[in-house]
Structure 1
Amino acid sequence: MDDRGFDLEDRLARREADELKRELAPVDRIAERGYFAHAAGSDLPVLDGEEALVFASNNYLGLTDDERVENAARQAASVVGTGAGASRLVTGDTMVHRDLERQLAETKGTERALAFSSGYAANVGTITALEPDVVFSDEYNHASIIDGCRLADAETIVYDHCDAASLESKLEARAEAAADGESWLIVTDSVFSMDGTVAPLPAICDLADAFGAWVMVDEAHATGLYANGGGVVQAEGLEDRVDVQMGTLSKALASQGGYVAGSEALIEWLVNDARSFVFSTGLTPPAAAAASEALHVARHGDVRERLWDNVAHLRDGLESMGYRVLGDSQILPVLVGDREDALLLADGLRERTVVAPAIRPPTVPEGTSRIRVVPMATHTHEDIVACLEAFQAAGEEVGLL
């Protein structure tokens, strides 16, 4: 009999030979510092004995172990339940979900919002439900946007990263061959997770107006961090010009899940036609409650200011050593270039109890390997200094400084 199965061992061996095989590394808690363990196969992991500073998390505001957020999740579990138990359209819709969506809509300046079980589900479900004929997509957009375009079977036109002139040229070229009644969607992240760059949203909105397209913005790495706890859309005052605002609850909002905010008609359509919403069990009540409380803290506390102070301190310190730091956001990619040097630098940081990973091809283009550095609002001044000292020592050891 012919073997028509899958040789997964060979695939894994090739990936390991290329130094691209990933391993899980458990940590004892999600916070600015913790104990880590190596992958242990079927055995229980054993945490290392030395605590490490974490400068690699998307827990930007440090709220995953905030007592207020923990209490909100605990109360929701006690009163409502640990799980939704069904899809939102069956019996999984609760007042906890409605409260979260009310807060999100208020923060994002929209008529309504809708919570999904993940950010990935929000992007895929929204793009496929809209069924655009043509999508104009930034070349560095998240995988969930790319997969959403594929599943929607849309003609996808990729424009150069954060380049409004490139987008304009693509729009002009497509307009010459456009059929009557075509629907166009321009999709971009607002903050790009590997480069720390920020999309030129005002220019994108101007182009959308000129060509009659809709705009969808993924605020996964921006929600909670900008004006009034919103994202870049709020910082730029573009609420009335961005048709679809998407984001996650699993980064700055210290929970799990995703959301879409927009018009009443948009949300009603997604409730009825976004398969990743319709056919998924609702977001767990504790996750919804935790995100609600984290959003409240982000809007009314001082955590955003503390984050941006740490970002400025860390960027200034790294640049003063001679490192090239990319981006314009809370994500600080330290460009190394050579893949092996980046791995050695990451190892050197880890030896000095600082966790900041090397990002290398194929995640980023050849010759642009980097260390992705991200402070949290809860890092102290001493933590930032310790991180900088580790970069100084490890960089000298590798020969980068």
Structure 2
Amino acid sequence: MEDRGFDLEGRLGALEADDLKRNLSPVDRVAERGYFAEPAYGDLPVLGSEEALVFASNNYLGLTADERVQDAARRAAATVGTGAGASRLVTGDTMVHQDLERLLAETKRTDRALVFASGYAANVGTIAALSPDVVFSDELNHASIIDGCRLSGADVEIYDHCDADSLRSAMAARADGRVEGGDVDDSWLVVTDSVFSMDGTVAPLEAICDVAESYGAWVMVDEAHATGLYANGGGVVQAEGLEDRIQVQMGTLSKALASQGGYVAGSDDLIEYLCNEARSFVYSTGLAPPAAAAASEALHIARHGGARERLWENVAHLRDGLETMGYSVLGDSQILPVLIGDRRDALALAEGLRDQDVVAPAIRPPTVPDGTSRIRVVPTASHDRDDVIACLEAFQAAGEEVGLL
């Protein structure tokens, strides 16, 4: 009989030959340092004997180990339950969810917010539910945005990264009829990350709003890597005072807010519509109550504590130190991509850092374009000054060993 299955062994071999195969490497805890295990391939992992500094986590404010956040999760598990038990439209909606959404709406300065089981589900569900005729998407947008655009069935126009002039050109071509299939009554949506996770760049949101408004388009901003880090615990939208010009604000609870899940914030009508039409919300079990409670507490701390200031101090110290050594550091956010270029050099540098007990991964194609492989360095608020110095010393030693310095 003819084999119509899948040659997974061959596919895996091709990934390995191209240095693209990735493996799970468990850690004992999510914090600024930890003990890692080698890939176990289904067997019981065995943790190593040396503790490593972690400069690769999106736990930006270091709140996963904060006792207040952990206590909030414990209380919710004890009083509400460990899981929602059903879709929130059935019996999975709780006071914990409502409290989190109230706080998110207040922070994002919108009428309401809606929490999804993941950030991926929030993006895919929202874009598909809006079902725009045309989406104008930044070329480096997250995979969840790309998949949401595909699922929506929209025509997708890609504009150059963080380039409002490129967006204007794409919109002008549509409006002037230079793109086939357009219609005067088409609904248009501009979608962009605010902080881009692999480049550390920040989108020019005000300029994007200017262009979108000149063509009557809506704007959706993914604040996954910005929520909790800017003005009053908000994102770039709040820092720039653009709440009234951006119709859809999306973000995650799994990064600075030390939990799990995603959210969308916007008008009453938007949230009511998504409650009914976003399939990833309607047909998913609600976010676990302990996760919702943890996110609420973390957002409160982000708004009223000193974690944000500590994070940005560490970011400045690391960037200055890396650039002083001669490394090229991209972006202008808390994400510090150290540009290496060659894929194998980046992998060798990451391995050298690991030998120095510092975890900072190599990011290579297809995640980033050919010739732009980099080390993605991310400090957290819970790293102290000695941790930052240790990271810089590791970059110095490993860079010299690889021949990059």
Give the TM-score taking structure 1 as reference length: 0.99
Report the equivalent of 1:155: 155
Q: Structure 1 counterpart of 2:103, which letter? A: Q
1:293-312 mapped onto 2 (5 Å cutoff): 293-312=297-316
Among residues 250, 253, 271, which one is paired with 2:254 in the alignment?
A: 250
Give the aligned partner of residue 98 of structure 1.
98
- d(CA) in 1 for partners of 2:100, 2:137: 29
1:262 maps to 2:284: no
- Choose the corresponding residue for 2:320, options 307, 316, 326: 316
Deviation at 1:14, TM superposition (A): 1.2
| Superposed displacement of residue 307, structure 1 | 0.2
Q: Which runs of 5+ in 1 are unaligned?
A: none
Q: Write the distance in 1 (CA, Å) between the matches of 2:378 and 2:118.
A: 22
Separation (CA, whole Å) in 1 of partners of 2:264 and 2:61: 21
Who is 2:279 aligned against? 275
2:36 alignment partner in structure 1: 36
- Distance in 2 (CA, whole Å) between partners of 1:14 and 1:372 is 25
State yes or no: 1:381 paired with 2:385.
yes
In the alignment, which residue of structure 1 is the partner of 2:128? 128
**Could you say what secondary structure the match of 2:263 adopts?**
strand
SS of the residue corresponding to residue 48 of structure 2 reads: coil
Secondary structure, aligned partner of 1:48? strand
Secondary structure of 2:242 counterpart: coil
Offset, 1:40: 1.0
User: Distance in 1 between the 2:136 and 2:112 partners?
Assistant: 25
Aligned to 1:110: 110
Secondary structure class of the residue paired with 1:260: strand
Task: Kindly state the Cα deviation for residue 318 of structure 1 after the two structures are TM-superposed.
Answer: 0.4
The aligned runs of 1:234-245 (5 Å cut-off) are: 234-245=238-249
1:201 alignment counterpart? 205
Give the letter aligned to residue 267 of structure 1: I
| Equivalent residue, structure 1, for 2:67 | 67
1:167 is aligned to: 167
CA drift of 1:180 comes to 2.5
What is the SS of the residue equivalent to 2:64?
coil
Which residue is 2:144 aligned to?
A: 144
Q: Distance in 2 between matches of 1:40 and 1:128?
A: 38
CA RMSD of superposed structures (Å): 0.6
Following the alignment from structure 1 to structure 2, what is the Cα–Cα distance between the partners of residues 85 and 348? Answer: 46
Query: SS where residue 370 of structure 1 aligns?
Result: strand
Question: In structure 2, what residue type is equivalent to 1:176?
Answer: D
- Distance in 2, Cα, partners of 1:150 & 1:331: 28
Distance in 2 between residues matched to 1:264 and 1:24, nearest whole Å: 41
The yes-or-no answer on 1:3 pairing with 2:3 is yes
Report deviation, 1:15.
Answer: 1.1
Matched, 1:392 2:384: no
User: 3-state SS of the aligned residue for 2:339?
Assistant: strand
State the distance in 2 between where 1:21 and 1:73 align: 35
CA shift, 1:220, in A, is 0.2
1:366 and 2:370 matched: yes
Identify the residue that residue 185 of structure 1 maps to in structure 2. Answer: 189
Partner of 2:20: 20
What residue identity is the alignment partner of 2:140?
Y
Partners of 2:213 and 2:362 in 1: CA distance? 40
Deviations 1:250-300 (A, max 9, x none): 000000000000000000000000000000000000000000000000000
Give the letter for the 2:129 counterpart: A
Distance in 2 separating the partners of 1:387 and 1:354: 6
Partner of 2:233: 229
5+ long unaligned stretches in structure 2: none
2: CA distance between counterparts of 1:41 and 1:190? 36
State the aligned residue count.
401
Match of 1:349 in 2: 353
SS at match of 1:43: coil
Q: Secondary structure of the residue that 1:157 maps to in structure 2?
A: strand
* Cα distance between partner residues in 1 of 2:280 and 2:42: 32
Residue 325 of structure 1, aligned match among 329, 333, 337: 329
Does residue 290 in structure 1 map to residue 294 in structure 2? yes
Partner of 1:50, secondary structure, is strand
| Alignment-mate amino acid for residue 220 of structure 2 | M
The alpha carbon displacement at 1:106 in A equals: 0.2
Query: Which residue of structure 1 aligns with residue 80 of structure 2?
Result: 80
Per the TM alignment, residue 4 of structure 1 is displaced from its structure 2 partner at its CA by 1.2
Residue by residue over 1:69-120, the C-alpha shift from the partner in whole angstroms, topping out at 9 and shown as x without a partner, is 0000000000000000000000000000000000000000000000000000
C-alpha displacement of 1:224:
0.2
Q: Secondary structure at the match of 2:49?
A: coil
Amino acid of the structure 2 residue aligned with 1:127:
I
The residue type equivalent to 2:270 in the other structure is L
Structure 1 residue 42, shift from structure 2 partner: 2.6
2:43 corresponds to 1:48: no
The amino acid that maps onto 1:10 is G
Partners of 2:28 and 2:402 lie apart in 1 by 30
Q: Which amino acid aligns with 2:174?
A: R
Distance 1:294 1:365 in 2: 35
Aligned partner of 1:175: which letter? A
Q: What secondary structure is seen at the aligned counterpart in 2 of 1:83?
A: coil
Distance (Å, rounded) in 2 between the aligned partners of 1:52 and 1:293: 28
Counterpart of 1:53 in structure 2: which amino acid? L
